[in-house]
Structure 1
């Protein structure tokens, strides 16, 4: 798996983001391309400490002990995976501005693990820097595949 911490892995994700067009259609799911990019910003905001989510304690136990290990070990996320309500996007977003913000937040990972401002995922519990990297890369890859790039 690639890493957002490395220049090459980070640039590969950015190159794929740059291939998106306002007319790009999803291969599965309900999001438009602008909603998808906005959706991808949310988890990055959690990593950077700019978004704090509360999780139902029972769901958090399920996430920590059942789902986390499966996601981290999987080669990629499955189609139509569930998402946290805080990351659901229904409105429309300025394509260019949203893409620029997403790229800026992805690039921040190249500064190294010190950009990660939390060691606790709201659903998966304690996370190492490497686990955050793994999860973020797979999430971005999942949605870029969703839109064919």
Structure 2
């Protein structure tokens, strides 16, 4: 994942940027990406579970083929409604996303064989998280035209 590229593109996003699809605001999207990064380095923990066969198939397609991240995927464990914002403003949320990128990279630098839990696909290693994040971030950046 080319973090510096994402951070450059993030500068084109403002709190007023309208989505091209979906219901998230720019701040919701930034907070969602920060939370996903936190999941990947274990700051936010979810209980381990048995991964359903259909999710194993989705995991393979997303992580091992050229498949793009699909539109309309619900955040696991939610009803599809927007969650409450965690941060007081867009700038604070963006700072948290940038910090999450840094901590994510540092975590896997120090724990290269670690596997952390994805809420749909189960345990992922660094290589798998890298592919997931690249496709997931690209999906949401295209949502906002950046």
Residue 50 of structure 1 is matched in structure 2 by 43
The gaps in structure 2 that reach 5 residues or longer are none
For residues 98-133 of structure 1, give each alpha carbon's deviation from its aligned partner in whole angstroms, at most 9, with x where no partner exists.
001101212334447335654443421232211111
TM-score after normalising by structure 2: 0.81
Name the count of aligned residue pairs. Answer: 140
* Aligned: 1:133 with 2:126: no
* Aligned: 1:20 with 2:17: no
- Per residue, is there more helix in 1 or in 2? 1
Give the direction of change, closer, same or farther, for the CA distance of 1:50–1:108 in structure 2 (3 Å limit): closer
Q: Cα distance, 1:17 vs. partner?
A: 1.3
Deviates more, 1:110-119 or 1:23-32: 110-119
Q: Cα distance, 1:140 vs. partner?
A: 1.2
SS at match of 2:73: coil
Deviates more, 1:77-86 or 1:39-48: 77-86
RMSD: 2.5
User: 1:39–1:89: 8 Å Cα contact kept in structure 2?
Assistant: no
Q: Cα distance, 1:10 vs. partner?
A: 0.9
Which whole-Å CA distance do the structure 2 matches of 1:109 and 1:52 have between them?
A: 14
* Aligned: 1:62 with 2:57: no
Q: Cα distance, 1:14 vs. partner?
A: 0.7
* Aligned: 1:80 with 2:72: yes
User: 1:14–1:103: 8 Å Cα contact kept in structure 2?
Assistant: yes
Residue 145 of structure 1 is matched in structure 2 by 142
TM-score after normalising by structure 1: 0.79
* Aligned: 1:106 with 2:101: yes
SS at match of 1:85: coil
User: 1:28–1:80: 8 Å Cα contact kept in structure 2?
Assistant: no
Give the direction of change, closer, same or farther, for the CA distance of 1:115–1:71 in structure 2 (3 Å limit): farther
